[in-house]
Amino acid sequence: MNAATGAVVPLLEISKLTTRIDGSAGTFTVLDHVSLYINPGETLAVVGESGSGKSIAALSIMRLLPEVAHIDHGDVALHAEDLLALPESGMRNVRGKKIGMIFQEPATSLNPVLTVGQQIMEVLERHTKFRGVDARDEAIRWLKKVEILDPERRIDEYPFQFSGGMKQRVMIAIALCAGPDLLIADEPTTALDVTIQAQILDLLKSLQKEISMSILLITHDLGVVAHMAHRVALMKDGKVLEVAETREFFTAPKHPYAQELFSSLPQRVGRAVSYRPPDPNEKPLLEVVGMKVHFPIRRGLLKRTVGYVKAVDGVTFEINKGETLALVGESGSGKTTVGKGILRLIPTRMGQIRYDGIDVLRLNGEDLRAMRRNMQIIFQDPFASLNPKMRVGTIIEEGMMALGVGANDAERQVRARRLLEQVGLVRESYDRFPHEFSGGQRQRVAIARALAVEPKLIICDEPTSALDVLVQAQILKLLLDLQKDLGLSYLFITHNIAVVEFLAHRVAVMYNGEIVEQGDAEELLLLPQHPYTQQLLAAVPTVEIGGEEFVNTTA
């Protein structure tokens, strides 16, 4: 296939693999003549946007496709043995023994009712000669290898006693304990925080060196690719567009799609905004002072409160008119809770939230309703944030109706159509249902819905983290344009440092419910003061494109 491979016999060779899915609307091809190979000890990264078929490729190799999908033709050879010709019983000896696999979501890949030890030993007893006490010793050895502290004790614990990163370590132990030649890692770090991601990737790298296995790494994160892969395969719409050495791929991408992908990385565009010192005469639009959101822990028959989970514990910041404040932090740091608390979607226990000098927490009834016109929210998941049973027009008009924007139905309808145009959708979208739109288009609808009531402040709760990089760039640009045109202020909640760098005036870093550092975006990203901020920024994988270095960069 590739002349450059020379004498090396590839470990896994896929040729002209074609997989189809039978849907109600007919059959469509999800893998179209995919040809790839992996050499022993090599990491091949398969990169692509969602829906490009990279996960289906992995499932096709393992022959674990969902019922509706089938391999139409093609070859998958491991050690020159045709995997597609094997009977199902023979395939069971391949899975786990010769090819290990880890998945994206560590929380659901482990069985919650078995101890982690049992789950590792299950694989050991199936595929190796270890039995009973030996298997247990081997399992402990593997837990040590994946750097779990105190493995003798932790082997008898259940998955819920492990954190997300720890669970992924256990998954890696399970996948590798039978000594496979190839590890398929399907987005192994996507569900993890950036600091944990760095640790897991380092672990995979050192294990690869130690036991000399090959890795088929499926990811959409170019930073991860640059960090891990020897070679890169770029996929789109079920086809492999380009296969290249990693350095070559980043320095001189051949395919126009790769070039497009790189140019849409937020860093490539550079900083879209620059810090401007607030006008001392102007009062801040939103002031949050000592905000505390505590969730009560209730126990017993009478549900008495026995304690509190301090999700947000004394947060203070302000947002000026026309300004973007990025609220950065890992999952569980309480940043989303801050956003919902400001909108009073969840009760705040203490503190003040002053919008234009008025304390939002003291408002009730009609006053609160009037206040809701000023602040709106855009959510992370465009698939969950639009009611699937309502037409786009009705979705946009709902807020207007509830808050009394527009005099009558006709006026609201005109306004809704104009908003659709403003966010870059066609007017005809008005009568369609959300499922007829792609993720990016849905996010546009969500933005139109928020804009419909003419808010001054929009809380953007990770609005682009569920989107592909090209779409992300478009949505970010739309948000910037809207800010320019309408003078909006944003509270931008995100974990993506690249996005922060792109559009934030100021940054606040949250950790464990508190803001540990805040300040002007340029300064803070360049010279972080707090150790946590430093750790956070250091963990972000970087990409070098044509000699320039870029931070994290999801595709």
Partner 1 sequence: MEFPFRPLFLWTDVLVFLLTAAVIVYFMRVRRDVNQRATWLRALRNPSGMASAVILGLFVLVGLLDSMHFRPLLPPQAAAAGAAKAPPAAKDAKDTKAAPAVVVSRYAPTALSVLDVLLRPFNLEGERTYSEPLATHAFVKENREENGRTIRDFPRLKVAAQHLKDPVSDWAWDVTWRSAAGLLLGVVMTLVATAGLVGLLVRHPAQKGLSYGAIFSRLWSNQLSMPWRAAVLALGGALLLAGLVIVLAPVYHVLGTDKVGKGLLYLSMKSVRTALVIGTLTTLFTLPFALLLGIAAGYFKGRIDDIIQYIYTTLHSIPSVLLIAASVLILSVQLESNPELFATAAERADLRLFFLCLILGVTSWTGLCRLLRGETLKLRELEYIQAAQAFGVAHFRIIWRHILPNVMHLILISVVMEFSGLVLAEAVLSYVGVGVDPSMISFGTMINAARMEMSREPVVWWSLTAAFCFMFVLVLAANLFADSVRDAFDPRTHIR
489 binds partner 1 (CB under 8 A): no
| Token output for 264 | 């849409």
Residue 402 as a binder of partner 1 (CB under 8 A): the answer is yes
Shortest Cβ 475–partner 1 spacing (Å): 16
Q: Are 412 and 401 in contact (CB under 8 A)?
A: yes
Number of residues engaging partner 1 in binding (CB under 8 A): 35
Angle at 409 between CA 407 and CA 414, to 5 degrees: 90
Neighbour tally for 64: CB within 10 Å: 11
Euclidean distance between CA atoms 103 and 99, whole angstroms: 13
Binding part of the chain for partner 1, among 43-51, 126-134, 327-335, 387-395 by CB under 8 A, reads 387-395
Give the neighbor-by-neighbor strand order of the sheet with 304-319. 304-319, 286-299, 350-355, 358-359
Q: How far is the CB of 382 from partner 1 (least distance, A)?
A: 9
Q: Are strands 239-245 and 324-328 parallel, antiparallel or unpaired?
A: unpaired
The helix (run of H) or strand (run of E) holding residue 365 is helix 365-372
Which whole-number Å values give the CA distances from 188 to 144, 167, 203, in the listed order? 20, 11, 12
Applying CB under 8 A, does 386 fall inside the site for partner 1? yes
Place of tokens 């290990």: 100
Which C-beta is closer to partner 1: that of 366 or that of 548?
A: 366
Restricting to residues 21-50, name those near partner 1 by CB under 8 A.
Answer: 21-24
Piece of the chain touching partner 1 by CB under 8 A; list 72-80, 186-194, 249-257, 369-377:
369-377
Given candidates 43, 380, 443, 472, which one binds partner 1 under the rule CB under 8 A? 380
What residues from 286 to 315 belong to the interface with partner 1 (CB under 8 A)? Answer: 303
Determine the straight-line distance between the first and last CA of the chain, rounded to whole angstroms.
27
With CB under 8 A as the contact rule, the residue among 208, 376, 533, 554 that binds partner 1 is 376
Q: Which of residues 418-437 bind partner 1 (CB under 8 A)?
A: 433
Paired tokens of 528: 């972080």
Smallest distance, Å, CB 153 to partner 1? 36
Q: How far apart are CA 174 and CA 127, in angstroms?
A: 11
443 binds partner 1 (CB under 8 A): no
Under the criterion CB under 8 A, does residue 377 sit at the interface with partner 1?
yes
Based on the shown chain and the rule CB under 8 A, indicate whether residue 446 belongs to the binding site for partner 1.
yes
| 536 CB-contact burial (10 Å; exposed 0-12 / middle 13-18 / buried 19+) | buried
Asked if 387 interacts with partner 1 (CB under 8 A), we say yes
Question: Side by side, which strands form the sheet with 514-520?
Answer: 375-378, 457-461, 489-494, 324-328, 506-511, 514-520
Task: Please state the closest distance from residue 370 (CB atom) to partner 1, in A.
Answer: 9
In a 13 Å sphere around the CA of 216, the CA atoms on its Cβ side amount to 30
Of residues 63, 64, 32, the one with CA closest to residue 48: 32
What x-and-dash track marks residues 453-482 binding partner 1 by CB under 8 A?
A: x-----------------------------
**Residue 444 interacting with partner 1 (CB under 8 A):** no
Of 43-51, 109-117, 232-240, 391-399, which part binds partner 1 (CB under 8 A)?
391-399
**492 sits near partner 1 (criterion: CB under 8 A):** no
Is residue 292 within 8 A of residue 312, CB to CB? The reply is: yes
368 binds partner 1 (CB under 8 A): yes
392 binds partner 1 (CB under 8 A): no
Please identify, among the stretches 127-135, 377-385, 409-417, 469-477, the one whose residues bind partner 1 according to the rule CB under 8 A. Answer: 377-385
Of 479, 478, 504, 481, which is closest to residue 493 (Cα–Cα)? 504
Considering only 1, 9, 64, 68, the residue that binds partner 1 (CB under 8 A) is 68
Question: Residue with structure tokens 């202020």?
Answer: 489
Pick from 84, 91, 289, 343 the residue near partner 1 by CB under 8 A. Answer: 343
User: C-beta of 435: minimal distance to partner 1 in Å?
Assistant: 8
340 binds partner 1 (CB under 8 A): yes
Is 364 near partner 1 (CB under 8 A)?
no
Q: How many CA atoms lie within 13 A of 426 on its CB side?
A: 6
Residues within the interface to partner 1 (CB under 8 A): 21-24, 68, 303, 340, 343, 345, 368-369, 372, 375-377, 379-381, 384-390, 395, 398-399, 402-403, 433, 446, 449-450, 453
